[in-house]
């Protein structure tokens, strides 16, 4: 039976060929095994509750870049807790410690290629994290060794980390979207999302420019004929302004 030394206490740990997760019988440290060897196995507890995640999602959907009424009209179809696996590499690069995080599972969920793992929040994994919580644990399908050739410097630590996320699926105007809420920081991450239509804003700006430009040219021509027409031009501009403002407000309300 193959064996290796525990990364924490140094005891010999035996495992069966094909095992991915092994626990040291002496210090109870859980470790992850792949082609590159054995590494620590950490988990980051949830710091963001479902209610907090829902609040973050609502605020994000109400942002200035989002489609009009997205926060009211979006239909949430799935809202679940997932522990997503990532590899954490601590490296010594020119005397400076650098931490790099890479996904350990292929995914189309947005934002998971740019996660940051705060070292102080990590907990050594044990089975209590999987008992009775109803949280999905995604299993790695990318070997750690695949990332090693592209890493700079000398290794200090390499570990598998289960990262907490809230995975949200929603529909808006017949199209499906995905958003991820970071379960540790509460940050919302999305790839494709419904954006506000900018065309009406450019249209009203162009129309206002043309109207005021035309008024200015006409006023200048009339003033050359009779300086008294400057007063008439000013009156026309004052009358036009409320209509342009009302049109702009209507577009903002509509789009």
**30-34 vs 3-5, strand pairing mode:** unpaired
Place of tokens 């696996």: 85
| Distance, first Cα to last Cα, the chain | 66
Show me where the domains of the chain are located.
35-190, 199-254
pTM of the model: 0.68
Sequential pLDDT tens for the chain (255 residues): 566 677 667 677 776 766 666 777 777 776 767 655 556 678 888 999 999 999 999 999 998 888 888 999 999 999 999 999 998 888 999 999 998 889 999 888 877 777 777 766 788 776 666 655 678 889 888 888 888 889 999 988 888 889 999 999 999 999 999 999 999 889 998 878 888 665 555 666 666 667 767 766 776 676 677 776 666 666 766 667 676 666 665 655 555
């Amino acid at each position: 039976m193959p064996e290796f030394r525990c990364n924490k206490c140094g005891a010999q740990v035996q495992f069966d060929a094909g095992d991915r997760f092994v626990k040291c019988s002496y210090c109870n440290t859980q470790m992850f095994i792949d082609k590159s060897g054995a590494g620590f196995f950490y988990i980051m507890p949830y710091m963001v509750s479902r209610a907090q995640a829902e609040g973050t999602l609502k605020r994000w959907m109400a942002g200035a870049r989002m489609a009009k009424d997205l926060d009211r009209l979006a239909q949430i179809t799935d809202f679940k807790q997932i522990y997503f696996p990532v590899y954490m590499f601590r490296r010594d690069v020119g005397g400076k410690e650098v931490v790099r995080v890479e996904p350990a599972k292929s995914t189309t969920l947005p934002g998971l290629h740019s996660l940051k793992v705060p070292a102080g929040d990590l907990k050594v994994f044990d089975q209590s994290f999987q008992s009775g919580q109803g949280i999905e644990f995604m299993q790695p399908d990318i070997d750690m060794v695949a990332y090693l050739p592209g890493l700079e410097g000398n290794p200090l630590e390499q570990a598998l980390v289960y990262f907490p996320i809230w995975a949200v699926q929603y529909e808006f105007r017949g199209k499906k979207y995905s958003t991820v809420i970071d379960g540790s920081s509460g940050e919302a991450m999305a790839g494709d999302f419904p954006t506000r239509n900018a065309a009406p804003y450019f249209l009203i700006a162009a129309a206002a420019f043309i109207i005021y430009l035309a008024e200015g040219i006409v006023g200048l021509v009339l003033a050359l004929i009779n300086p008294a027409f400057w007063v008439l031009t000013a009156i026309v501009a004052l009358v036009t302004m409320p209509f342009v403002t009302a049109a702009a407000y209507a577009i903002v309300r509509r789009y």
